[in-house]
Amino acid sequence: MPAIETRDLQRVFSGDVVAVAGVNLRIERGEIYAFLGPNGAGKTTMVRMLTTLLRPTGGSASVAGHDVVAEAGEVRRAIGVALQEAALDPLMTGRELILLQATLHGLPGAEGRARAERLLARVGLTNAADRRVGTYSGGMRRRLDLASALVHEPHILFLDEPTTGLDPVSRKAIWEEVEKMNREGTTVFLTTQYLEEADNLADRVGIIDDGRIVAEGTPESLKAEIGRPHLEVVLGDGAMERAQEILGRFGKPLPAKDGAALVELEGGASGVAPVVRALDEAGLVVESLELVQPSLDDVFVAKTGYHLEGSGDETAVPEASSN
C-alpha cells in the first residue's frame, strides 16, 4: 500500500484560481519525496490538502491508506506536520509546545513527557526548552517544529519548505535530522524551492509548476534525461547579444543567468575550444568560462522555460522552450 497516493487531485479557489490542476502521485513507504517548484507553484496547497487542512475541489487523495476527506481523523493520527509558517505560539516555551502536541495526540502524561524530553535532546533544544519560543532564532524554531511533529512517532512526515530562510549550518542540521528519521523508517514528503535540497535529500523529485507536475523521477534520472552539459560565459564588456548570437552556432542557447550567456553543448567538453576561438575572433573579452554538468535547474529550465534560482536578467533567448 503506498504511503501517499493522489488521483487527479485538484484545488480551485474562489475567483477561479487553479492552485493545483490535477496531480497524480504515488509515494511508497520509506521514500523521501520532494516537490520542487517556485513560489506559487502549488506546493503549499498540495501539502495542506494531504494534511487535511484544505479540502480538494476535485480528484482524491489517500494518506497511509485513508482518504483525506472521508477518513480525516485516521490520517491525522498517522501523520506528523511541520508547516512553512512554523505554527508556534511566541508566548509558550519550547517544552510547553511539545507537551501540548503530545496532549493533542492523546499521549498519556508520563509517556508524553518522556518523549518530549527525548525529542528536545535529539534536536539540541534541552537548554532552551524553558525559554519562550518568541526568543528562539529561526533555526531553533524549525528544530522545535520538527521535534513536535515527531512526538507521536508518525509513519509519514510532511514538511513544507523546512529550510527556507535558514542559514547554511541550520539547513544542514535539518537535512541530517530528516535523513536520520527516514533511516528509522519514516516516509517524508517535503516541498522546497531549493535545488540543492531536492538533489541531496530526495529519493524522488516531482517538479511542479503552475499546479501541475512537469517532471518526476530520481534526481539522477531527471538529469540524465537532459543529459548534456552547458557552457556559462561571462563577458567583460557586457556584449551579451553578440555573444549569444555566436554561441547559438555551437548548440542550443539557454536563458541567460546572472549576467552569463548560456549554451548547451552537443559534443560535451570537446565543443569548448571552437567556442573560445569564435568568441576570440569576434573580439569579445571573456571574463570567465565554465563547463557545467546538468543540474536540476537545467531540468527545470527544460521543462518550464525559466530558471528556478538566480535568474538575474530575464534576457529572452530565441528558440528557448516557452511553456
Partner 1 sequence: MTLAADLATIRALMRRALNEILRVPGAAIPGVLAPTIFFLGLTAVFGNLTLLPGFTTESYQSFLIPVSLMQGAGFTGAATGVNLARDIEQGWFDRLVASPAPRPVLLAGLVASASFRSLIPAAMLLIVGFSLGAHWPGPGGLAIALLITMGMAIVAAAWGTTIALKFKTQSASPLMQAGMLLLILTTTAYAPLELLTGWLQEVARYNPVTQIVDAARQGFVGSVTWGETWPGLLALAGLAALLLALALRGMRRIAD
Q: Which is nearer to partner 1, 17 or 269 (CB)?
A: 17
Angle value at C-alpha 282, between 278 and 286, nearest 5 degrees: 75
Of the candidate spans 59-67, 76-84, 183-191, 193-201, the one that interacts with partner 1 by CB under 8 A turns out to be 76-84
Position 135 contacts partner 1 (CB under 8 A)? no
Q: What is the arrangement of strands in the sheet containing 4-13, beginning at the earlier edge strand?
A: 17-27, 4-13, 58-63, 66-67
- Residue of 17, 24, 70, 87 interacting with partner 1 (CB under 8 A): 87
Per-residue x/- mask for partner 1, residues 51 to 70, rule CB under 8 A? xxxxx---------------
Residues 148, 118 contacting (CB under 8 angstroms): no
Q: What is the DSSP letter of 241?
A: H
Q: How far is the CB of 96 from partner 1 (least distance, A)?
A: 8
Position 83 contacts partner 1 (CB under 8 A)? yes
Position 104 contacts partner 1 (CB under 8 A)? yes
Position 106 contacts partner 1 (CB under 8 A)? yes
Position 15 contacts partner 1 (CB under 8 A)? no
One DSSP character per residue, 84-152 reads TT----TTSBHHHHHHHHHHHTT--HHHHHHHHHHHHHHTT-TTTTTSBGGGS-HHHHHHHHHHHHTTT
Contacts of 95 (CB under 8 A, 6+ apart): 116, 120, 129, 130
Of the candidate spans 21-29, 87-95, 121-129, 218-226, the one that interacts with partner 1 by CB under 8 A turns out to be 87-95
Q: How far is the CB of 30 from partner 1 (least distance, A)?
A: 22
Of the candidate spans 31-39, 89-97, 115-123, 213-221, the one that interacts with partner 1 by CB under 8 A turns out to be 89-97
Q: How far is the CB of 58 from partner 1 (least distance, A)?
A: 14
Written as nine digits, the cell of 160 is: 513544507
Residues 33, 189 contacting (CB under 8 angstroms): yes
CA 153, CA 131: separation in Å to the nearest integer?
A: 25
Q: Which residue bears the cell 476535485?
A: 58
Q: How far is the CB of 73 from partner 1 (least distance, A)?
A: 6
Of the candidate spans 50-58, 198-206, 219-227, 282-290, the one that interacts with partner 1 by CB under 8 A turns out to be 50-58
Backbone angles phi, psi at 187, to 5 degrees: -80, 135
- Residue of 88, 128, 201, 260 interacting with partner 1 (CB under 8 A): 88
Instruction: Give Rg (Cα) of the chain.
Output: 23
Hey, which residues between 139 and 178 contact partner 1 (CB under 8 A)? none
Residues near partner 1 (CB under 8 A) = 51-55, 73, 76-77, 79, 81, 83, 85-89, 91-92, 99-101, 103-109
